[in-house]
Amino acid sequence: MPSTSTARPNWLAGGLSAVWLVVVGVPILSMIVWGLTTEQAFRDAGPLAVPQVWTLGNVTEVIDRGFLDYYWNTAVVTVGSILLSLVLAVPAAYAIVRSKSWVAGASFRMFLLGLAIPAQAVIVPLYLIITEMGLYDTLIAVILPTVAFTLPLVILILSGALRDVPRDMYEAMTLDGAGSLRILLSAVVPMSRGSISAVCVFVGLTAWNSFIFPLIFIRDESKTMVTLGLREFQQEFAVDIPGLMMAVLLSAVPVFLLYVFARRWLIAGLAGVGGK
């Protein structure tokens, strides 16, 4: 509740927050501590104590098992998905907001209904389509459905922002003789920078975390993404808990760095996804 309401401490909310702090903090702290010790030291200390040996050796171990390839593939999918999303959605949102034709209105309604399609549920026909297109076992097979299933929300976010662009501005530019493409690139894109950030965050995180698409569409180990790589590690490391914890930790490092250096942007983007 806004601080203006009262100066009295809010014991209930504070208490709940303390509980949540423990719930979130303990697993994350354990992961970090366990990931920085050796298998033997971990076994000697047990899961609840602070281990006696500290090492970065698990990092090498995880990288030796091909983690850098997984990073690279994940990065390709993430960047590819973001770019394709923007290329498709920015013009579409612009058309939806500006055009008076029934096509634009119908498209918007289609995307609205598309919000409710669960991607997992159509994985079998997607598999059929992907194999049919000869895309099986390529990173493109992950990018295309990822973009498709984020498109409805992306278009909602962008068209919401474009509606806020003053109508006079479009008209003024049109009078100046600017073509629609120029209006799009020189006015619309800069003015909806905030929503474009939100789209990047949303599509980026969805792609970064994608699991079922690479699970079904990728078989070559050298094309595996970080998420699926963790599943491999779960079996390979087995009782080498420190090794596995380091892998989990490393899987989150890029997003964590983003959080550290661009926290406001990331959080604003995430909040923008749900609407304000």
Partner 1 sequence: MTAPRTIPRRTFLAALGAGATALATTSCSDDSNGSQAAADLDSAGDPAQASGELDVWVLQEDAVNPVSRASLDRFFGGTDVKANLITEPNESYRDVLQTIIDQDERPDIFFNWGGGSIRSYVRAGLVEDLTPYLEEDSEFKNAFLQSVLQAGQIDGAYYGIPMRTMQPKLMFYNTALFDQVGLEVPTTWQDFLDAVDAFAAEDITPVAVGAADQWPLLMWFEYLTDRLGGAQVFQDIAEGTGEGWAHPAITRTVETIRDLVDRGAFGDAFASVAYDDSGPLLSDGRAAMMLSGSWEYTNFLEDAPGFVTNSLAWGPFPALEDGEGDPENVAGNPTNYFSVHADSPLKEVAINYLKQEMASDTYVQDLLDVGDIPAVANIETLIEGHEHEEYFGFVYAMAANAPNFQLSWDQAIARPQAQPMLEAMENVFLGNLDAEGFVQANEDAAS
Partner 2 sequence: MGYVLPAVVFFTVFAVVPLVLVVVLSFTSWPGFGDIRWTGLDNWERLIGDERVRESTGITLALTASTWLTQTPMAIAIGVWAAGRQRNRAVLSTIFFLPLLMSSAAIAVLFHRFLDPNYGMARDLGPLIGFPDGNILGTAHGAFLVIVFVSAWQWVPFHSLLYQAAARNVPTVLYDAATIDGAGRWDMFWRITLPQLRYTVVTSSVIMIVGSLITFETVLLITGGGPGGATRILPYLMYSAGFEAFEMGYASAIATVLVVVATAFSLLIVRFSGFTKMRSTLEGM
By CB neighbour count within 10 A (0-12 exposed, 13-18 middle, 19+ buried), where does 16 fall? exposed
Residue 144 contacts residue 88 (beta carbons within 8 Å): no
CB-facing half-sphere around the CA of 50: CA atoms within 13 A: 2
Q: Contact between 75 and partner 1 (CB under 8 A)?
A: no
C-alpha–C-alpha distance, residues 198 and 54, integer Å: 39
Closer to partner 2 by CB, 47 or 221: give it: 47
Q: Using CB under 8 A as the criterion, what x/- string covers residues 90-129 for binding partner 1?
A: --------------------------------------xx
If contact means CB under 5 to 8 A according to the sort of partner, which of partner 1, partner 2, none does residue 219 touch?
Answer: partner 1
Report d(CA 225, CA 245) in Å as an integer. Answer: 17
Q: x/- string (CB under 8 A) for partner 2, residues 12-41? A: -xx-xx--xx-xxx-xx-xx----------
Binders of partner 2 among residues 92 to 121 (CB under 8 A) are 92, 94-96, 98-99, 101, 103-104, 107, 110-112, 114-121
Q: State yes or no: residue 197 binds partner 2 (CB under 8 A).
A: no
134 lines the binding site for partner 1 (CB under 8 A): yes
**What own/partner pairs with CB < 8 Å and gap ≥ 24 does 224-227 have?**
224/66, 224/69, 224/70, 224/73, 225/70, 225/73, 225/74, 225/77, 225/142, 226/67, 226/70, 226/71, 226/73, 226/74, 226/251, 227/74, 227/251
- Count of residues binding partner 1 (CB under 8 A)? 15
The distance of closest approach from Cβ of residue 32 to partner 1 in the complex, given in angstroms and rounded to an integer, is 22
Residues with Cβ within 8 Å of 128's Cβ and at least 6 positions away in sequence, in order, are none
Q: Which is nearer to partner 1, 204 or 229 (CB)?
A: 229
Site string for partner 2, 213-252 (x = CB under 8 A): ---x---------xxx-xx-xx----x-x--xx-xx--xx
Query: Which residues form the interface with partner 1 (CB under 8 A)?
Result: 128-129, 131-137, 219-221, 235, 238-239
